[in-house]
Every structure is written in structure tokens, then in C-alpha cells.
Amino acid sequence: MPSGRDGFADLHEALSGRYGQPRNLAVDGYADPTVTRRTGLGLLAPFGERLVEMRAWAHGSRWIGCGSARFDDGIRPVVLVAEGQDPAADMAEGSSWLDGVVAVTGWDVTGARTVDWAETEARIGTALPSDYKRLVELFGDGAFDEYLQIHIPGSCFQSTDIVRNTKWLSEWASATKSGLWEPYEAYPTPGGLLQWASTEQADQFYWLTEGADPDRWPILITEDIPDSWVRFDGTTTEFVYRMLTDRQHPFSTARYFDSHWFESYGSDENEG
């Protein structure tokens, strides 16, 4: 156990430096009610109502916790390790890529939302990949591993509302004649790029809308540097699943996290 607040801060910094950004399981005495064994519940259980704060890092099959709790002599820092649970362990043979995304995030699918896809696709001017639509219905507005933010209809931000952002990018591209997407062009140019996700690091994820079948559209990704296009010939949910589980994936979060989650940004709080 670290001695004093300085020791706690040093340990928190050291753990973050080694294991990446932690999850906030408890803040100011309030524990996240959606936490499960898959997402770090073992770090909360020993303290009950005495818990003040808890940060969690995934490492292998375990969770490492660093926080503070109330004791008879006051609030003291605490450090502990709890056994985790492999969320993909119960995946059935023949499961879909979307099933895999649900499994590795431990997501509760009972709160699936309804989306008027006919209206959405009419406003955008094209059909959208079927597995992307089901992904949106199950997960809603938010980001995987606090990294990959999915663009959805009705997002609370224009930049991540797939309808409004597509319209804005089209108008901006037309007005500026920008070469931002070279050698490609922005949708609705035939075969143009239609954005479906982004990150805070300015990575942008597009479908290359070539061909009549959206389920066969490849994915193109660009970082905030010139000529940085990466192509992925697979579906949207395959891309997300491989990003979460494959350390060799060019945009892998598996290199930084051993457990994965979906952070909901809207009213669809649903985390399993």
C-alpha cells in the first residue's frame, strides 16, 4: 500500500504509464452501477460503501485497481488485484463478427435501440452496411475502448451524426475543392468516401462506396498525416472485432488493453 497522497499519485502515474488509460469505476464515493465481473467488479466488492474512488487497468486475465476507501482512521489509498473474466469464453462456434464484438465488450444487448433506417438512408442517399446498422442498434452512441467513436444517426454531436456529418463533408468538399481525400473523393461522388467512425487522435474511418452492395464496401482509414491511407477488405464489425482482439491490427487497442468496453455517450447506458 502506498504511503500518503504523494505515493498514491506516483503509483497511479506509474500504472497509467505501463497499462494505459484506466477505467473510472468509482468517483467521489459513487460507484458505476453497470460494472460487472468482466469490467472490474472484483475491485469494488471488498469495500462496499466505504469506497471513495477506484481506477482500473486490465492486465492479462486480471484487473489492477488503485483508489481510496474510508477506514476508521480516515480515507486511505488502496491497491489490489482482482481476477477478471474472459468475455469471449462463451462464444458459440459460428458466431458472427458482431457476436464477437458483443462478447469481448461484455455488452448487454437487451437494451437495443430502434433506428428508422429507411429515413436515414434516404437522407444520406444510399443504403448502409447491414452489420453497421445492427451494431448501431445494439450499442448506440459511444466509443469502443474510449478510442473508436461510431458515427450514428441522431448522435448528440454533429461531427459524429452520420447524416449531418456526411452532408457537411459533402458541402465542404464541394465548396473548397479540397484535396484532403486524394486520391479519393468524398461521397456522394460515385465510389466516394463515407465516414462511419473517428477518434480523438484525428483518425478517420470511411467506407469506399464502390459497388451496389454496401455489405461489400471496403474500409479506408487515414491518420492526420498526408498519404496515410490504410485499406481493410472486410465488414465493419469484423474491423471492430479485429481492432479489439488482434495485436497486429494497424489500429489495435489489444496492444494496450486486455479487456475491452464500450463507453456510451448518450441515453443508451447499457454497459454489461
CA nearest neighbour of 222 among 199, 204, 249, 198: 204
Please classify residue 197 by burial: count the beta carbons closer than 10 Å to its beta carbon, then call 0-12 exposed, 13-18 middle and 19+ buried.
buried
Maximum alpha-carbon separation in the chain: 69
Order of strands across the sheet with 74-83? 30-31, 23-27, 51-59, 62-71, 74-83
| pLDDT (mean) for 243-270 | 79
Distance CA 33, CA 167 (A): 38
11 and 137 part of one domain: no
Please report whether residue 76 resides in a domain. Answer: yes
58 and 153 part of one domain: no
- DSSP three-state, residue 68: strand
Strand ranges (E), 181-255: 193-198, 204-208, 219-222, 230-232
Q: Tell me the average pLDDT of the chain.
A: 85
Please report whether residue 269 resides in a domain. Answer: no
114 and 237 part of one domain: yes
Please report whether residue 271 resides in a domain. Answer: no
Q: Is the pLDDT of residue 233 over 70?
A: yes
105 and 236 part of one domain: yes
Q: Is the pLDDT of residue 267 over 90?
A: no
109 and 133 part of one domain: yes
Handedness of CA 139, 145, 239, 191 (dihedral sign): positive
Q: Is the pLDDT of residue 162 over 70?
A: yes
Q: Is the pLDDT of residue 266 over 60?
A: yes
Segment among 62-71, 77-86, 150-159 with least mean pLDDT: 77-86
Please give the share of the chain, as a percent, with pLDDT higher than 70.
87
CA torsion, ordered 212, 214, 215, 216, to nearest 10 deg: 60
239 and 183 part of one domain: yes
Query: Phi, psi (5° rounding) for residue 215?
Result: -70, -10
Please report whether residue 22 resides in a domain. Answer: yes
Please report whether residue 91 resides in a domain. Answer: no
Identify the domain containing residue 12 by its residue range.
Answer: 4-83
pLDDT digits (tens, 9 = 90+) for 195-208: 999 998 878 999 99
Number of domains in the chain: 2
